[in-house]
Amino acid sequence: MQPTIKFGTDGWRGIIAEDFTFDNVRACAQGVANYLLGRGIASQGLLVGYDTRFASEDFAAAVAEVVAANGIKVYLNSEPAPTPVISYAIVVKKAAGAVIITASHNPARWNGFKYKPEYAGSASPEVTAELERHIHQVLKEEETKRLPLNEGRAQGLVEYYDPKPAYLNHIAELVDLERIRKAGLKVAVDPMHGSGAGYLKELLSGDRTKVIEINAERNPLFPGIQPEPIAQNLTKLADIILENKADIGLATDGDADRIGPLDEKGLFITPLQVFGLLALYLLEVRGERGTIVKSITTTNMVYRLGELFSVRVCEMPVGFKYIGPQMITENALIGGEESGGFGFRGHIPERDGILSGLYLLDLMVRTKKKPSKLIKYLYDKVGPHHYARTDFHFPEAKREEIARRLSQLKPEQIDNTAVTGIDTTDGFRFRLGDGSWLLIRLSGTEPLLRIYSESDSMEHVERLLQAGRLLAGI
């Protein structure tokens, strides 16, 4: 029986050697080749990159062999690179797209296959549906082409390529690095053993600002952590901040498209707070204007900022496969989601944890405020907004049962507060009479139930999360 290869919120992911095998990766690569040939854009070539996970470079080489065997030029990364760095290389090379071998924030047993189209962002639902059609046809026929790398290089169909220099030059055009370097900040950085290692350190070093980097060596086991920049995975970074009296901590996930900051006290700054701060930075400090694109799981604070600065706010389902294309349509100023991924106008319609971190540092320097003071500054404008998310793993066999139970929920009250609306755009979001909200949502990439809430106090958030768990029957 052939495996089901389905693209979730950003690509296909699977457990290494169980379903993420060389045969299946080659089938995906052949599907991409067929897709490019069918669209008549194969002559533009394809980038192939990878992260620091187990055998990622070998899976990337397998992709390159298949694509090259179809007569398509391949630009194969010479070393692990962050997803936004590879995505930006699509723009530089004017390529037809990129395949990136990465499982982002998933545990060490996982790897993944991301496809980025010619617009250098996450593949839209329309693109992924077409890719899946091609891949499933390949699996059915059990036929892929292969051209060994040495032969591909000899024929000029495979070229090793380093996307880093062009990316670093571009970043220097987007943010005043010299201003941050001269500011004398002390910045603790945790790339979480991922492909973002060394980037912030290289960008920020050379003057008074000092960078302390941890977990910078490649270790596919991600010892003691999962490479997701959330509070429970950042205790070591918090300790480093306190020990060194650092001004801020910046963590990036496994492929560095997401950011997880800690303030000067070692306290986690939630992605909703980060989104509010980045939007405020662009609107007030830089004086820019443009649409804000948000996922349904992220903060209502941007609605208030939209009112204050007279800009449109557009809400989308979860995933940059929705947010990115909408950013292009709207020429949006910023797009963001609850998982800590933010994209920016003038860059690419894609999440970039490195640039997000640099913008936060520039906000600190230009306002002369430490992170905790910046959050107070934000709340002074939009009011207090507290948020939390809880995740619950479950056996894959229970997914249908859980989904059926959720579809039948129609509560009139939650935590003694009237339910004023139910939104099923992506998951089940309950809007409450006091402005709070609760969302219960099944992950699109793993057997996981996520429960989210935002309210005006942390106590209320915790009660809503507990109520959500009871509603879901977890």
pLDDT digits (tens, 9 = 90+) for 325-342: 999 999 999 999 998 999
Say which DSSP state 282 is in. Answer: I
| 12-164 matches 184-266 in fold | yes
Say which DSSP state 341 is in. Answer: -
Lowest mean pLDDT among 285-299, 303-317, 446-460: 446-460
CA pair distance 156, 150, nearest whole angstrom: 10
CA pair distance 340, 336, nearest whole angstrom: 7
CA pair distance 373, 371, nearest whole angstrom: 5
pLDDT digits (tens, 9 = 90+) for 428-474: 999 999 989 999 998 866 789 999 999 999 999 999 999 999 998 87
**Amino acid identity, residue 133?**
R
Whole-number average pLDDT of the chain: 95
Strand partners, 294: 315, 336
Give the model's pLDDT for residue 1: 44
CA pair distance 117, 358, nearest whole angstrom: 26
CA pair distance 438, 454, nearest whole angstrom: 7
pLDDT over 80 at 395, yes or no: yes
396-403 average pLDDT score: 87
Residues 6+ apart with CB under 8 A from 444: 8, 9, 318, 319
pLDDT digits (tens, 9 = 90+) for 214-223: 999 999 999 9
The topology under which CATH files domain 12-164 is: Alpha-D-Glucose-1,6-Bisphosphate; Chain A, domain 3 (3.40.120)
Alpha helices in 281-319 (DSSP H): 301-309
Sign of CA dihedral 264, 220, 109, 3: positive
> Helix or strand or coil: residue 89?
helix
Parallel, antiparallel, or unpaired for β 386-393 and 448-455?
antiparallel
pLDDT digits (tens, 9 = 90+) for 83-108: 999 999 999 999 999 999 999 999 99
pLDDT over 50 at 228, yes or no: yes
**CATH number belonging to domain 184-266:** 3.40.120.10
The model's pTM is: 0.93
362-391 average pLDDT score: 95
pLDDT digits (tens, 9 = 90+) for 118-158: 999 999 999 999 999 999 999 998 778 899 999 999 999 99
* H/E run at residue 161: strand 158-161
**CATH number belonging to domain 269-383:** 3.40.120.10
CA pair distance 135, 27, nearest whole angstrom: 6
> Helix or strand or coil: residue 216?
coil
Long-range contacts at 202-207 (CB < 8 A, ≥ 24 apart): 202/168, 203/168, 203/171, 203/172, 203/177, 203/354, 203/358, 204/177, 204/180, 204/361, 205/181, 206/181, 207/178, 207/181, 207/182
Domain ranges of the chain: 12-164, 184-266, 269-383, 387-472
Give the model's pLDDT for residue 232: 93
55-69 average pLDDT score: 98
- 164 token code pair: 């880093």
Say which DSSP state 78 is in. Answer: S
Give the model's pLDDT for residue 442: 87
169-188 average pLDDT score: 98
- Closest to 423 in 3D by CA, of 313, 323, 297: 297
- Higher-pLDDT residue of 184 and 3 is 184
The yes/no answer on whether domain 387-472 falls in CATH 3.30.310.50 is yes
Helices (H) and strands (E) in the chain, counts: 16, 20
Give the model's pLDDT for residue 2: 55
Give the percent of the chain with pLDDT over 70: 99
